[in-house]
């Protein structure tokens, strides 16, 4: 199925019996494999509005992120959202999978940037929530429910987002350590400084790692220099200001993907423990989110989960044989509410039955 | 034979203790209204539980008796969200006011719902702070902020309550306790936390709240610029935002609001000027300095010949006091007023202000304008004299037409005050039946029996179990006024 409009998507859903698997660019085949008929959003490819003066835009779900960003950049604006680059990745897919990137440090996740959402449900209902103004508390925030729902509640057909000024001058402060504990202490201290960085990331591999702190704006170079001074005080080595820093950040993003990647929903202070799992790690050091590259073996995944218990570790990229193990166990009380939610929004269980947390 | 309500009151009394269970008229009068005084309902009974267990026991007792309840924080809300039910229970969380945990390294604070907004920032000052800052922050509770997804003057840059709540312990309407989210971000599963924040007390009652706090800005620079008209000031706002500056706050007051506020705050503002624009930049010192000169230049270019820069914290506090005095000050020039909370895309500001002015003239009434200009959140204050027959009704009608003007500009009926009882009749103007139906599905997933704050938010009462409707054309869409959203 490849609807050309949200209305057509709703009509197709009304006729369909399921099971269904929504698909954007097909770049994130995450979660347990399911054999649903694919409903793809490639036909929902219009940038419906770009309200330059209001710093907002309305995108159909199938709009590739790179295409949207190019349109915004032409007006010196951006969607402050930079997940791992893939030309095929769409706004709808990024939202459904709650993908994220280094800019999350300053601007929040996609859940924080989406101001309006239209979804098509399995009974053919086409429902909107929010709006297209950046401040709005009328009605319930269904956008947040669908963000990270992995296509199991319904099909996201249209999204309104808030934009930010695009700042081209950037500079990154970098500092290294061979000791995970020292790196962790530095991360805690840097996260607490009033430096207003755009990004604060960690990269760890082969028993050593570094922190990267990116600044944007006219004073970016000077701010990075003061961050470097702070890093030295905190005992980091090989400190430097990188003015030409795009490649550094491309690498951070790229390391969120791989053959077998476990995402850790952690705390800032978890950094040393995550590094000590012995694998290659990248993460948002100021937010406590980490991505661990693992050998694609069931025992290894279980071992890392055990070491980081009780943090929730979700398997993202993985061979199909391991993807049945995607989700950590959910609290039964919360799961009961999620089940009722699934029942209300998708009573036919048409959308990816069994593919979500707790077998939802 | 004991009537069911009396039996329930007996149970509640046993749970919270005699002294925290109110049934006498003089005790209940305190709780008749929240911050929106034109609505008043005396609750059947009010209870002030001490902890989560007592809240749970009260909610369970209500569920077993089939009696509906309303949660109340400090009662400073402006949409009647905490308006009690005459035949229901009011659960007041003001006794639950402990800060339970401060984790500076992880930038988290865990509080009970009755903790005031300001207390959170105070607890982690000076290194860290809690950004959402509603004008009522000295009294309003975090529990109420969570229910209403409260904003404040600094949300243009920092965001709203929903961007800072990461975990909630919630008592559901059936008495079950669940933990939504946690201290960590990105918990797998549906973002129930995101759905709960801003649900106006209709999905349950939060008993513990984990908040994200952030580093305090290194520098704050504040100015007030005076203009001949709101048009000129509005242009300055647009230019500032277009130039890539993201101010901590941009607040505007029109002529009437300046007059009233000055009478109360004595800040030395030039009464008679058309508009005052308060701009505050905060952040890293170097970036702030550079941007501040840019803002000064823009204000002057847009016609301001009177720009005042706060020289110290005292002067900054005075600028803010004058801005925050606007609502109470209005009480001095008018016996009564209605506050609106509409939002518009910022670029539509001039035409919507013209429309409001036209409407004020048409109705022969005074409308003062105070607004969060950065995010297009208007607070028109419709002044009237309630002692004059029919004035209140006309003021309400005028308010409704202002709301229509906001919706036609592509905006929202409420930016931060919430729908509550006050704006529910406008919901059907903003949302189609299918949208409301989807809202109801969410509500039913949390509270199938409809006991948590019924009669709020949704325009018409509805029960769970209704068959979901199908898509119908949106009223604005049908009129060719808006694309579907």
pLDDT (tens digit, 9 = 90+) per residue, B232-289?
Answer: 999 999 999 988 889 999 999 999 999 999 999 999 999 999 999 999 999 988 889 8
Is the confidence at residue B154, as pLDDT, over 60?
yes
Same domain, yes or no: B211 and B222? no
Domain CATH code at residue B293: 3.30.70.2190
User: Average pLDDT for residues B376-393, to the nearest whole number?
Assistant: 94
The mean pLDDT value of chain A amounts to 96
Across the interface, of A129, A133, A142, the residue whose CB is closest to B345 is: A133
Helix axes B255-265, B326-333, angle to 10 degrees: 90
Q: Judge whether B463 lies within some domain.
A: no
Residue B67 lies in a domain: yes
Confidence at B465, pLDDT banded by 50, 70, 90: confident
CATH of the domain at B206: 3.30.465.10
What fold, for A6-165?
A: 3.30.465
Residue B481's pLDDT band (cuts 50, 70, 90): very low
Of B164, B186, B215, which residue sits at a domain end? B215
Is the minimum CB–CB distance between B162 and chain A shorter than 8 Å? Answer: yes
For the cut 90, the answer to whether the pLDDT of residue A290 exceeds it is: yes
Enter the ipTM. 0.97
For B136, what's the count of Cα atoms within 13 Å in the CB-facing half-sphere? 21
Measured distance CA(A348)–CA(A230) in Å, rounded? 56
Contact of A348 with chain B, judged by CB distance below 8 Å, is answered with: no
Q: Closest Cα of chain B to A287: distance in Å?
A: 8
Residues B223 and B322 in one domain: yes
CATH of the domain at B52: 3.30.43.10
Asked if A135 lies within 8 A of B187 by C-beta distance, the reply is no
B423 touches chain A (CB under 8 A): yes
pLDDT value of residue B476: 54
Closest to A327 (Cβ–Cβ): which among B188, B194, B372?
B188
- Chain B closest-CA separation from residue A215 CA (Å): 10
Same domain for B400 and B359, yes or no, is yes
- Ranges assigned E (strand) in B106-248: 108-111, 128-129, 165-171, 177-181, 205-212, 214-215, 219-227
> Do the domain assignments include residue B432?
no
Q: How far is A235 from chain B (nearest CA, A)?
A: 18
In a domain, B290, yes or no: yes
Does residue B288 form part of some domain? yes
Q: What is the mean pLDDT of residues A166-192?
A: 97
> Are residues B209 and B103 part of one domain?
yes
Annotate B68-136 with DSSP letters as a single string. Answer: -EEEESSS--SSSTT---TTSEEEE-TT---EEEEETTTTEEEE-TTSBHHHHHHHHTTTEE-----TT
* CA B227/CA B234 separation, integer angstroms: 10
Same domain as B149, residue B248? no
Residue B435 sits at the chain A interface (C-beta within 8 Å): yes
Interface A–B counts its CB contacts (< 8 A) at 291
- Element holding B372 (H helix, E strand): strand B367-372
- Tell me: do B46 and B70 sit in the same domain: yes
Task: Out of B372, B387, B418, pick the residue that ends a domain.
Answer: B418
Q: Domain spans of chain A?
A: 6-165, 170-321
CATH number at residue B401: 3.30.70.2740
The two three-digit tokens of residue B342, written as one number: 């509409």
State residue B2's pLDDT score: 57
| pLDDT the model gives residue B484 | 40
Per the CB < 8 Å rule, is A111 touching B483? no
Closest Cβ–Cβ partner in B244, B427, B436 for A167 = B244
Residue B467: per-residue pLDDT: 41
Q: Give yes or no for A129 touching B (CB within 8 A).
A: yes
State whether residue A221 sits within 8 Å of chain B by CB. Answer: no
Cβ pair A140:B215 closer than 8 A: no
- Residue A23 exposure: Cα atoms within 13 Å on the Cβ side: 16
**Mean per-residue pLDDT, B283-311:** 93
Q: What is the mean pLDDT of residues B38-66?
A: 97
| A58, B475, B457, A54: CA torsion to nearest 10 | 30
- Chain A environment of B190 (Cβ under 8 Å): 145, 148-149, 153, 338, 341, 357
B460, part of any domain = no
Could B470 and A123 be called an inter-chain contact, meaning their C-beta atoms sit closer than 8 Å? yes
pLDDT per residue over A327-352, tens digit each?
Answer: 999 999 999 999 999 999 999 999 99
- Residue matched to tokens 């559901």: B172
Q: CB of B456 within 8 Å of any CB in chain A?
A: no
Instruction: Kindly state whether residues B223 and B157 are assigned to the same domain.
Output: no
Question: Tell me, what's the pLDDT at B485?
Answer: 44
Identify whether B426 is part of a domain.
Answer: no
Long-range CB pairs of A222-229, under 8 A, 24+ apart, other chains included: A222/B286, A223/A171, A223/A195, A223/A196, A223/A197, A223/B284, A223/B286, A223/B287, A224/A171, A224/A172, A224/A173, A225/A173, A226/A195, A227/A173, A227/A190, A227/A193, A227/A195, A227/A197, A228/A173, A228/A174, A228/A175
In a domain, residue B445? The reply is no
The CA dihedral of B141, B144, B146, B147, to the nearest 10 degrees, is: 180
pLDDT of B474 > 70? The answer is no
Q: Are residues B377 and B316 in the same domain?
A: no
Tokens of B212: 């994200």
- Given pLDDT bands bounded at 50, 70 and 90, which one contains residue A237? very high
B208 shares its domain with B117: yes
Pick from A15, A149, A218, A337 the residue to mutate for testing the B interface (most B CBs within 10 Å). Answer: A337
- Interchain proximity A334–B347, CB inside 8 Å: no
Whether the per-residue pLDDT at B469 is higher than 60: the answer is: no
Inter-chain residue contact A141 with B162, CB threshold 8 Å: yes
Which residues, at least 6 apart from B287, have a Cβ–Cβ distance to it below 8 Å? A196, A217, A218, A219, A223
DSSP code for B306: E
- Give bridge partners of residue B306 from the DSSP assignment: B226
Q: Of B300, B328, B356, which residue constitutes the final position of a domain?
A: B328
What residues of chain A, 50 to 109, have a C-beta less than 8 Å from chain B?
51, 53-56, 58, 76, 98, 100, 108-109
pLDDT at residue B483 tops 50: no
Residue B79 domain boundaries:
4-92
Interchain CB distance below 8 Å, B177 and A333: yes
Number of domains in chain B: 4
Are A137 and B148 within 8 A, CB to CB? yes
Would you say residue B101 has pLDDT above 60? yes
Whole-angstrom distance, CA of residue B425 vs CA of residue B244: 38
Interface of B with A in 58-97 (CB under 8 A): none
Do B179 and B239 lie in a common domain? no
């Amino acid at each position: 199925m490849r609807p050309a409009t949200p209305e057509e998507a709703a009509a197709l859903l009304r006729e369909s019996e399921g099971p269904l698997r929504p698909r954007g660019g097909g770049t994130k085949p995450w979660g347990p494999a399911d054999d649903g008929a694919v409903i793809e959003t490639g036909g929902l490819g219009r940038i419906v509005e770009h309200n330059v003066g209001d710093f907002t835009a309305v995108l159909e779900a199938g709009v590739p992120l790179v295409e949207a960003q190019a349109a915004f950049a032409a007006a010196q604006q951006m969607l402050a959202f930079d997940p791992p680059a893939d030309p095929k990745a769409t706004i709808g897919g990024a939202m459904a999978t709650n993908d994220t990137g280094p800019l999350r440090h300053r601007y929040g996740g996609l859940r924080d940037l989406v101001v309006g959402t239209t979804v098509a449900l399995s009974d053919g209902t086409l429902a909107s929530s929010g709006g297209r103004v950046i401040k709005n508390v009328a009605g319930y925030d269904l956008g947040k429910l669908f963000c990270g729902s992995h296509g199991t509640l319904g099909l996201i057909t249209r999204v309104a987002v808030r934009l930010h000024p695009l700042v081209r001058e950037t500079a990154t402060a970098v500092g290294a350590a061979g000791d995970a504990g020292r790196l962790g202490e530095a991360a805690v201290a840097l996260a607490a400084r009033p430096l207003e960085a755009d990004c604060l990331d960690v990269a760890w591999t082969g028993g050593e790692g570094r922190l990267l702190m990116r600044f944007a704006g006219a004073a970016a170079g000077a701010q990075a220099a003061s961050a470097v001074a702070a890093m030295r005080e905190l005992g980091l080595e090989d400190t430097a200001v990188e003015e030409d820093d795009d490649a550094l950040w491309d690498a951070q993003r790229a390391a969120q993907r791989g053959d077998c990647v476990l995402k850790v929903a952690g705390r800032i202070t978890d950094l040393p423990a995550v590094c000590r799992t012995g694998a290659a790690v990248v993460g948002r050091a100021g937010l406590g989110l980490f991505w661990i590259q693992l050998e694609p073996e069931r025992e290894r995944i279980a071992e890392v989960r055990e070491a980081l218990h009780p943090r929730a570790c979700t398997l993202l990229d993985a061979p199909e044989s391991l993807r049945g193990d995607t989700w950590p166990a959910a609290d039964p009380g919360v799961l009961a509410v999620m089940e009722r939610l699934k029942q209300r929004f998708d009573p036919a269980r048409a959308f990816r039955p069994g593919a979500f947390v707790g077998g939802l | 034979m004991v009537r069911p309500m009396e039996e329930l009151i007996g149970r509640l009394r046993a749970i919270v203790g005699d002294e925290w269970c109110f049934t006498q008229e003089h005790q209940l009068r305190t709780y008749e209204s929240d911050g929106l005084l034109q609505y008043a309902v005396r609750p059947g009974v009010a209870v002030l539980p001490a902890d989560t267990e007592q809240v749970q026991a009260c909610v369970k007792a209500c569920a077993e008796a089939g009696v509906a309840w309303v949660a109340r924080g400090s009662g400073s809300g402006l949409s009647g969200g905490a308006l009690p039910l005459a035949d229901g229970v009011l659960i007041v969380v003001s006794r639950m006011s402990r800060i339970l945990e401060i984790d500076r390294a992880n930038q988290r604070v865990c509080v009970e719902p009755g903790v005031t907004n300001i207390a959170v920032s105070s607890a982690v000052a000076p290194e860290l702070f809690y950004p959402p800052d509603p004008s009522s922050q000295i009294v309003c509770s975090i529990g109420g902020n969570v229910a209403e997804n409260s904003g404040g003057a600094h949300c243009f840059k920092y965001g709203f309550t929903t961007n800072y709540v990461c975990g909630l312990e919630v008592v559901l309407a059936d008495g079950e306790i669940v933990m939504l989210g946690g201290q960590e971000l990105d918990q797998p599963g549906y973002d129930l936390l995101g759905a709960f924040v801003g649900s106006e007390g209709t999905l349950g009652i939060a008993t513990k709240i984990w908040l994200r706090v952030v580093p305090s800005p290194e520098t704050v620079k504040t100015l007030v610029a005076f203009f001949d008209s709101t048009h000129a000031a509005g242009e300055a706002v647009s230019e500032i935002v277009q130039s890539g500056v993201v101010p901590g706050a941009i607040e505007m007051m029109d002529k009437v609001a300046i007059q009233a506020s000055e009478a109360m705050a004595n800040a030395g503002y030039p009464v008679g000027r058309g508009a005052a624009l308060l701009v505050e930049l905060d952040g890293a010192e170097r970036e702030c300095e550079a941007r501040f000169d840019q803002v000064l230049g823009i204000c002057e270019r847009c016609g301001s010949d009177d720009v005042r820069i706060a020289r110290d914290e005292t002067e900054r506090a005075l600028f803010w006091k004058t801005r925050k005095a606007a609502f109470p000050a209005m009480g001095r020039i008018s016996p009564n007023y209605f506050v609106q909370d509409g939002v518009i895309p910022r670029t539509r500001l001039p035409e919507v202000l013209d429309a409001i002015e036209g409407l004020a003239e048409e109705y022969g009434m005074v409308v003062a304008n105070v607004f969060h200009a950065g995010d297009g959140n208007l607070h028109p204050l419709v002044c009237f004299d309630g002692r004059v027959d029919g004035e209140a009704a006309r003021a309400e009608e005028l308010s409704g037409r202002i709301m229509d003007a906001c919706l036609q500009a592509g905006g929202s009926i409420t930016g931060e005050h919430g729908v509550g009882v006050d704006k529910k009749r406008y919901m059907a103007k903003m949302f189609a039946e299918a949208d409301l139906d989807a809202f109801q599905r969410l509500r039913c997933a949390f509270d199938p029996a409809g006991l948590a704050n019924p009669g709020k938010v949704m325009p018409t009462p509805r029960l769970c179990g209704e068959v979901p409707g199908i898509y119908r054309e949106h009223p604005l869409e049908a009129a060719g006024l808006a694309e579907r959203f």
